[in-house]
Amino acid sequence: MLNILNALLAFENLDPMNWDVLKPALNFLWQGLLAIFVVIGLIIVTVKITAFAIDKATEAKKQRQEKENEDENSAQ
């Protein structure tokens, strides 16, 4: 970690063709992109599970109301 900060703070050593300078930047890049994709994936999964639960609850409510209506009709 200290080497990365030293490389980033030493502007005179920044050379786009120097692998020792590019290596930490590319390391940060792939880790950051991976973290972004993982978070987006977790958000998508959470939304899908929530939508599934809402659909199930709505369907159960409809079935409960239909059963109550049938019970009322049969009681009359």
What is the residue-wise DSSP string for 5-57? HHHHH-GGG--TT-HHHHHHHHHHHHHHHHHHHHHHHHHHHHHHHHHHHHHHH
pLDDT digits (tens, 9 = 90+) for 17-33: 777 778 888 888 999 99
pLDDT score for 64: 93
- Here the tokens at position 72 are 């009322």
- Here the tokens at position 8 are 């980033």
pLDDT score for 63: 94
- Here the tokens at position 2 are 């200290």
Contact 24, 9 (CB under 8 A): no
Q: Which residue has the tokens 């059963």?
A: 67
pLDDT category, 6, cuts 50, 70, 90?
Answer: low
